[in-house]
Amino acid sequence: MDYGIYLIDIHFEITVCNFNKRLVVVALEILEQGGVGRAYAQVIDHASGEEFRPFFNGYISTEAHIVTDIWKGYLPLKSEYPNIE
């Protein structure tokens, strides 16, 4: 089995949640036929563009359609990820 990391390049939903007093950024690939494909999560120190950038660069294609939880920390990524909502 291949457990490598793949860039998500179709439709992607992202949110930041508090888990055991730690911030976690979570990404879900939403499949065209419905349902969820791959999922990624990473603990972050604070919700900001600089904290999100390595996560985005590692898991999300710059061409992906990205739906967020409207947190302002995503705004600095808009120039690299033009399809972010």
Residue 52 exposed, middle or buried by CB count within 10 Å (0-12, 13-18, 19+): buried
**pLDDT tens-digit map of 31-68:** 878 788 888 888 888 878 888 889 888 888 888 888 88
Residue 79 pLDDT class (50, 70, 90 cuts): very high
Contact indicator for 72, 40 with CB cutoff of 8 Å: no
Question: Rounded distance, CA 39 to CA 30, Å?
Answer: 9
Q: What is the pTM of this model?
A: 0.74
Residues 17-27 as b/e (b if ≥16 CB within 10 A, e otherwise) read eeeeeeeebbb
Domains of the chain, CATH where assigned:
11-77 (3.30.420.10)
